Amino acid sequence: MKPQIVTFLIKCPDQKGIIAKLTHFFYQEGFNIVSSQQYTNEEEQRFFMRLRVASDDSVLLSKDQLEERFARLAEAYKITWKVDYGRKKQKVAIMVSHTSHNLYDLLHRHKENKLLCDVKMVVSNHEKLKPIADMFGIPFHYLPVSKETRKEQEADLIELFDSNNIDLIVMARYMQILTNDFINHYPSRIINIHHSFLPAFQGANPYRRAYERGVKLIGATAHYATEELDEGPIIEQGVERVTHESTPTSLKKVGADIETMVLARAVSCHLNNQIIVDGNKAIVFPMTGE
């Protein structure tokens, strides 16, 4: 039987000997450390670690026992932590409005097993992109919204997502501003793609404003949604060089390619448990040949 890989994401105040304490704990419990990645923010004296450990039939601890014992260590060293056991694909909902390129890209990657998840549904406030969901055999849910019906629509969204045990919500150009109540219901579980290299050109029509400013670089940013519009922890960004000859239309074409790449990388990082959110920053550990 293939050993089970367990991933721990850890953050705490930096302190002498913390790596030794953590690795010794897993040694004592009979685990083999597959990979260990750590980062220390010296300015803020914060320590971050992504630890992957392997168990086999000789390790008789249950999940509850492992977490109970680790919790005692965590309390002693003021550790905030999350653990993933790696045997259940995360359930994903994709939210869209009119623009199709991000949806096409995510569903194609999912079909080719390049995104390790289970895309349960596509949700939209318009019916325009239903044929794409149908093409890939993904259930499509049409939930129109207006200023007057926003609270009711979001209540329906929450019921839909929670009843399907959705782990991650991907806003693949869903062009609606979510309420704080909705965002706070899914902390660090909503990824948004913004068609600008944040913090530049926040909000609507960034390509038009980039054109008006005569920029020489355009980009895209994938970030977690928070109460502050386009201010959440940044997961991934990308840029391309442009010239004075660029038009709003040509900027959009270049930007669409950047968006798909950036969003796919961000979603993959989340699914692979590579991200630790600390305040308004996302610590993103690189893949280690997994």
Cis geometry, peptide bond prior to residue 199 (ω within 30 degrees of 0): yes
Please say if 230 is a catalytic residue: yes
**Do 112 and 32 fall within a single domain?**
no
pLDDT the model gives residue 162: 98
The CATH number for 75's domain is 3.30.70.260
Mean pLDDT score across all residues of the chain: 90
The CATH number for 104's domain is 3.40.50.170
Report which listed range, 154-168, 206-220, 251-265, is most confident.
154-168
Percent of the chain with pLDDT over 70: 93
**Do 143 and 66 fall within a single domain?**
no
Per-residue pLDDT of 154-171, as tens digits, reads 999 999 999 999 999 999
pLDDT at 30 over 90: no
289 assigned to some structural domain = no
130 assigned to some structural domain = yes
**Do 269 and 163 fall within a single domain?**
yes
**Do 22 and 54 fall within a single domain?**
yes
**Do 94 and 209 fall within a single domain?**
yes
pLDDT the model gives residue 56: 63
- Given phi > 0 = left and psi -120 to 50 = alpha, else beta, which region is 2? beta
Total domains in the fold of the chain: 2
**Do 64 and 148 fall within a single domain?**
no
Domain boundary among 84, 111, 131: 84
Dihedral angle of Cα 275, 278, 280, 283, to the nearest 10 degrees: -30
**Do 57 and 122 fall within a single domain?**
no
Active-site residue, selected from the candidate residues 56, 57, 64, 230: 230
**Do 57 and 31 fall within a single domain?**
yes
Indicate the DSSP class of residue 228: S
User: Would you say 248 and 254 are in contact if contact means Cβ atoms under 8 Å apart?
Assistant: no
Which residues span the domain enclosing 10?
A: 4-84
Indicate the DSSP class of residue 22: H
